[in-house]
Amino acid sequence: MRKSYYAAHVYMIVGVISGLFHREFTKIKDFHGDTQLALMHTHLLALGMLVFLIVLALDKAFGLSGSKLFTAFFWFYNIGIALSTTMMGVHGILTVLGRDEDHIAEVVPLTAGLGHILLTVGLVLLFILLGKRVNEHVKPAATTNDPAPETAGAA
């Protein structure tokens, strides 16, 4: 559970700092257009902090963190966020510095795409693990051999 808490905390700090960086960097460069730097802030807070706070609650309820699947989810998901948001930052900085889409190396969107693939793999692993834990917590239905409960007015 601590890993999820620390991950959420780190994403909160990095998300807030990225928002500050976006605001100050575009102000210094007198940039008034759209840039992916604005998206970095929300991606880090939503995909990082909020998701790990939700995972923390799910871990408390279903005991997810003791599993190898959880460890795989944790690393795939975190590496995916790191790649995706780093490439958003690189793309955004290049945009603010005056590079248009034709002059941004193809490796930037390709690496961001790899990050999204890793995020997806992480989420699939999380849902597989969560599905297993939910099934373990479902109580078996009463069998037909069990006697029916007596009603209050029966003689």
Q: Each residue of 31-80: pLDDT tens digit? A: 999 999 999 999 999 999 999 999 999 999 999 998 999 999 999 999 99
pLDDT over 80 at 136, yes or no: yes
Between residues 152 and 66, the one the model is more confident about:
66
Q: Which two tokens stand for residue 89?
A: 């930052």
Cα three-residue angle 122-125-131, rounded to 5 degrees: 140
Domain ranges of the chain: 2-133
pLDDT over 60 at 129, yes or no: yes
Q: Each residue of 8-28: pLDDT tens digit? A: 999 999 999 999 999 999 999
Report how far residue 12's alpha carbon sits from residue 86's, in angstroms, rounded to the nearest whole number: 16
Residue 141 CA to its chain's centroid (Å): 35
pLDDT of residue 101: 80
Q: Which residues contact 67 (CB under 8 A, 6 or more apart)?
A: 129
Q: Which two tokens stand for residue 74?
A: 């944790």
Report how far residue 1's alpha carbon sits from residue 69's, in angstroms, rounded to the nearest whole number: 14
pLDDT over 60 at 153, yes or no: no
Q: Which two tokens stand for residue 13?
A: 């700090």
pLDDT of residue 151: 59
Q: What is the DSSP letter of 148?
A: P
Q: Which helix (H) or strand (E) holds 56?
A: helix 51-62
Nearest partner of 123 among 78, 73, 62, 89, judged by Cα = 73
Report how far residue 114's alpha carbon sits from residue 153's, in angstroms, rounded to the nearest whole number: 67
Across the range 5-9, mean pLDDT stands at 98
